[in-house]
Copies of this chain bind each other. A is one copy, B any other.
Amino acid sequence: MSVRTPDPNPGWLSDIALEETRSRVPILYVEAVPVRVDSLGLVESVGVLLRGSATGEMTHTLVSGRVMHGESVREALMRNLEKDLGPTAFPQLPVSTVPFTVGEYFPLPGVSPLHDPRQHAVALTYVVPVTGDCAPRQDALELSWLTPDELMRREILDNMEGGRGALVREALAHLGALPA
């Protein structure tokens, strides 16, 4: 008979269990493109995180994280937004859980524009307006707000972690704000 206290967060896995699981099934993620919008809903700027990547370099990335066992997609989205943007970002979660795009990451580079050396991951990706102050926690060092034009000019999109610039381009297209 087990005398362990129940796991307070059964969605979390040990490193070994997670690695094993990653070899067996695609892992479900949620990702978010944080945006500042004007009063008519038009995007003014996009928030990109500067973070240490899996390979040790500094790269720009999006809000991103696993959906835990037993957790709803909305709960996972809110938890990861708080994790990456802090408790006072006041994200406005989408009214529908239909993502604007489905990101497919494969362990081998070149299979798709998106790539994750750790795993096959599938990411439901959302645009999320935030109205408060963002204070990145955890491993993210910095959040930059850039206009669509600045994103293009500074070649950030071509160098985002795992190819996520493709997701940002798709987000901008969805918002009617993709520079020519």
Contacts and interface: CB of A to CB of B under 8 A. Distances in A.
A18 B39 CA distance: 30
Given A26-B28, A66-B25, A35 B166 contact: no
A178 interface: yes
A159 to B, nearest CB: 11
A125 B146 CA distance: 29
Interface in A54-77: 66-75, 77
24 contacts: A13-B24, A25-B28, A26-B71, A28-B28, A28-B122, A37-B95, A40-B75, A42-B74, A67-B122, A69-B120, A73-B102, A73-B104, A92-B92, A95-B129, A96-B127, A96-B176, A97-B104, A97-B176, A98-B100, A98-B101, A98-B102, A113-B180, A170-B176, A173-B178
Interface string A110-131: 0011000000101010010100
Given A26-B28, A113-B180, A178-B170, A127 B97 contact: no
Copies of chain A in the complex? 4
A144 interface: no
